[in-house]
Amino acid sequence: MDHTLIWNNCLQTIRQNVDPQSFQTWFAPIRPVALESNELTIQVPHRLFYEWLEEHYIDVLKTSLNQALGTSGRLQYRINPNRQEKAASPSTKNGKSNGSIPGHQPAPGNPFVIPGVKRPRIPSNLDTRYTFDNFIEGDCNSLARNAAKAVADNPGNTAFNPLVIHGNVGLGKTHLLQAVGNYISNKFPEKAVLYVSTDTFTNQLVSSIGSNTTNDLVNWYQNVDVLLVDDIQQLVKRKKTQDVFFNLFNVLRQNNKAVVMTCDRPIIELDIEERLRSRFQWGLSADLSMPALETRMAILNSKALSTEVDIPAEVAEFICFHIQHNIRQLEGVLNNLVLHKGVRGDDSIDLKLAKEVLKNFVSEINKEVTPDVIQRTVADYYDLEVEKLASSTRRRHVVLARQISMFLVKEYTDQSLKAIGRMFGGRDHSTVLYSIKTVRDLMETNDEIKKALGELERKIRIGQGDGELQ
């Protein structure tokens, strides 16, 4: 029997077992090429295609083969050599021509091209404003920043792949992701870099399913050397996107293509298929946490410099004291300051203006010194999470920060010893008393502590916009 006849018999069985769209997408492009000793060889357009078949249609393929060739029938895949060559050819990489060549399959369509608009290159979708040079480094981000730079220096050849950068809203994930792309685009112009949000990828997938071009979509993505995917938390609840992304990710990784992704939570907390999660965990996961006061001030100053505005140090400190959780908000304050300054027709940015602007960003600018303000100031000063102050940790620098906080709360507020104990993790009043005495003694004997307390008291007053600033 001839291979075409056998494959047509297989197709009949398959047609009865899969929906018409899947049949069209995954079986119509297959070509039978040989039949030898009960082994049928079929040609598939590309490697991902074959992996997809193995993953999703192995049972139906087996059944159809059993029916056509008996239980001893075997299946062999061959990847279309024309298609492979074409995918790797520089002309496709640069996206020069998507037109069909006689005897060849047409190159996969560029999913970023809006119909009717000619886009000759793979568009990297990069925003050139985001670079490593203008990313301010601090303890909060140094692992992520250094890992991103390592990928940028040596794309696809780092010890870890993928790199996942995770962190809360507005802490610089997209900035770093884009910085990787911009750096590589400059240093290795021959590399095809692509930045895509998970939402865009999903939309492309949905529209490709509608037009039966999913193969083209995944094939096109395989031409990318560096794939930068933003906001992978958007994969949650999108089963089909997870499936396609899983296969694409495998192919890219097998081919030493660099993959960098961002996520708003650690991968372990991402509710996605286990196989995908474990793939993501192969690489390095680096988090971005909230920058300490000094780093926030450095970021604000750097943004102010690039906007050519001058913010006095005390005003910057006042702003950064209040904007703690989101650098995007810090930029928002800066933009508003510039705007108000223009409207006022005055050149200076002072504390009064900063207070006015800040009212739109924080619910309350503290009028009085509260225990909360003190705790935040001390935690910031010692570069600790504020929760640590109420924890049971006995680490020396945490204990010192806790004792100083208790001392300051007693000095600046009318809270009782019992109430202070409660706010520091349910400690009893004698512990509070002991802490206060310890700090008093240290102030007498230890210059460093004395200096730290002076600085902390200054910060607490600045936090209120009080003290020597007015």
Ligand X SMILES: Nc1ncnc2c1ncn2[C@@H]1O[C@H](COP(=O)(O)OP(=O)(O)OP(=O)(O)O)[C@@H](O)[C@H]1O
Complex with ligand X: residue 46 or 238, whichever CB lies closer: 238
- How far apart, in whole angstroms, are the C-alpha atoms of residue 170 and residue 323? 12
Listed ranges 84-92, 190-198, 325-333, 430-438: which one lies at the site for ligand X (CB under 6 A): 325-333
Name the residue among 78, 90, 85, 121 with its Cα closest to residue 103: 85
- x/- contact string, 43-72, with ligand X (CB under 6 A)? ------------------------------
By rule CB under 6 A, what count of residues binds ligand X? Answer: 17
173 binds ligand X (CB under 6 A): yes
Instruction: Tell whether 463 is in a known binding site.
Output: no
Shortest distance (Å) from residue 231 CB to ligand X: 6
CA distances in angstroms from 261 to 108, 161, 227, 231, 433, listed in the order given: 24, 10, 8, 7, 49
Q: Which of residues 86-145 bind ligand X (CB under 6 A)?
A: 134-136, 141
* Residue 222 lies near ligand X (rule: CB under 6 A): no
Structure tokens at 232: 């992978």
Q: Is 71 annotated as a binding residue?
A: no
- Which token pair is 328? 């995007």
The reply to whether 170 sits near ligand X by the rule CB under 6 A is yes
172 labelled binding-site residue: yes
Rounded Cα–Cα distance for residues 191 and 187 (Å): 9
When asked if residue 257 is in the footprint of ligand X (CB under 6 A), the reply is no
**In whole angstroms, what is the distance from residue 191 CA to residue 194 CA?**
10
Do the Cβ atoms of 342 and 307 come closer than 8 Å?
no
Answer for the pair 151, 181: CB distance below 8 angstroms, yes or no. Answer: no
CA torsion, ordered 327, 331, 336, 338, to nearest 10 deg: 150
Nearer residue to ligand X within complex by CB, 170 or 463: 170
Strand locations in 89-169 (E): 163-167
Candidate residues 104, 119, 239, 328; the one interacting with ligand X per rule CB under 6 A: 328
- Residue 138 C-beta: closest distance to ligand X, Å: 7
Please tell me whether 73 is known to bind a ligand. no
Could you write out the DSSP letters of every residue in 54-103?
HHHSHHHHHHHHHHHH-TT-EEEEEE-HHHHHHHHSHHHHTT---S--TT
Tell me: does residue 316 bind ligand X (CB under 6 A): no
Q: Which stretch binds ligand X (CB under 6 A): 20-28, 86-94, 327-335, 450-458?
A: 327-335
Residue with smaller CB distance to ligand X, 51 or 317: 317
Instruction: Using CB under 6 A, list all residues that contact ligand X.
Output: 134-136, 141, 167, 169-175, 264, 299, 327-328, 331
> What residues form the annotated binding site?
170, 172-174
